[in-house]
Structure 1
Amino acid sequence: MKYISTLIVVKDIEKAKAFYQEVLGLEIISDFGANVTLTGGVALQTLDTWQTFIHKEESAITFGSNAAEIYFEEDHLDDFIERLNAMDHIDYVHPLIEHAWGQRVVRFYDLDHHMIEVGENMLFVIKRFINTGLSIEETASRMDVPVDYITKMLGTEIK
């Protein structure tokens, strides 16, 4: 078994493609009209074709349930937030926040009200804590993770 992608249903595929390209910087891998595969493991499917695939009426397809999200990590979160804030068409779930473990994240909706989270790359969270003077053990405690998680993450940077 191999995971391939997350497919989301969209009402207007052209607008959805533009949104994911402009806001998240994703690129089109393949475009078959009713189905588009983007970098990052995201696929878009038109509402009308999706209805025929699952044999359901449009009223059976729910948008904006807030029960799931598409999750991305960003190495340069501050730059991304600055760019995002300059866009006037972003519908925020919430602005930039910091979770208890120290990761900063923002959540917003795409045009079809699918929730998107963009979080700070976890290695950058670790480095931010280390750069403030915390030891590896203190960083692990602050993030509520095992010490070996911190050392493994820091080790990936060296390779």
Structure 2
Amino acid sequence: MVKFEGGLICVKDIQRSRRLYEELLGQTMLEDFGENIVYLGFALQEKTCWASFLDVAPVDIKAGRYDHELYFETEDLNGFIEKMKAYDVKIYQPIQVSSWGQRMIRFFDYDDHMIEVGESMDYLILNYIKQGHSVEETHEKYQFSIDYINNLLKR
């Protein structure tokens, strides 16, 4: 059996990127290997070190802007966007609203990896139920299983 452990993204300046992921995106570092920082589900890898592992030139390692994104959720999207103003990131899409009502923003990190931060689905589900909707109506709107919604209500 093969178990997925997480992804790795290459960055030019690991300390600058680390500040973005830890301070703005609130990620907790699990391991610090100097040229490799491990978080839950993904890692940052210094580009020059990664190039040496692959036996290629650092210039050959390029981020593909639209082939992936790292996805995060928050219960306070407005607060996150306000905090984001202190970081020099390129916004790709200002606040968008999905067909199911989730608000999100997309931007590029310092190495052109796309980041999406959206409202927490749990937060949306609980607010929808607080507005008087049934578990079944919530299931229909958000497509989460009835078991998932009931377990969320028990927390």
TM-score (norm 2): 0.85
Amino acid in structure 2 at the alignment position of 1:97: Q
Q: Does 1:118 align with 2:117?
A: yes
How many residues of Structure 1 are paired with residues of Structure 2 in the alignment? 154
Partner deviation per Cα, 1:41-98 (whole Å, 9 max, x = no partner): 22111111111212222343222422101111223333223322x3251211111221
Give the Cα–Cα distance (whole angstroms) in 2 for the partners of residues 103 and 154 of structure 1: 20
Give the Cα–Cα distance (whole angstroms) in 2 for the partners of residues 132 and 82 of structure 1: 27
User: Of the candidates 143, 152, 155, which is equivalent to residue 156 of structure 1?
Assistant: 152
Alpha carbons of 1:77 and 1:109: their partners in 2 closer, same or farther (altered >3 Å)?
same
Unaligned runs of 5+ in 1: none
Q: Residues 15-30 of structure 1: matches in 2 within 5 Å?
A: 15-30=16-31
Q: Residues 9-158 of structure 1: matches in 2 within 5 Å?
A: 9-38=10-39, 40-84=40-84, 86-143=85-142, 145=143, 149-158=145-154
Unaligned runs of 5+ in 2: none
Secondary structure in 1 matching 2:100: coil
Alpha carbons of 1:121 and 1:132: their partners in 2 closer, same or farther (altered >3 Å)?
same
Amino acid in structure 2 at the alignment position of 1:156: L
Secondary structure in 2 matching 1:7: strand
Give the Cα–Cα distance (whole angstroms) in 2 for the partners of residues 125 and 152 of structure 1: 13
Aligned residues of 1:126 and 1:150 also touching (Cα < 8 A): no
Aligned residues of 1:123 and 1:154 also touching (Cα < 8 A): no
Amino acid in structure 2 at the alignment position of 1:7: L
Task: Give identity over the alignment, percent.
Answer: 36
Aligned residues of 1:136 and 1:151 also touching (Cα < 8 A): no
Deviates more, 1:25-34 or 1:92-101: 25-34
Task: Give the drift of 1:122.
Answer: 1.2
Amino acid in structure 2 at the alignment position of 1:112: D
Aligned residues of 2:126 and 2:153 also touching (Cα < 8 A): no
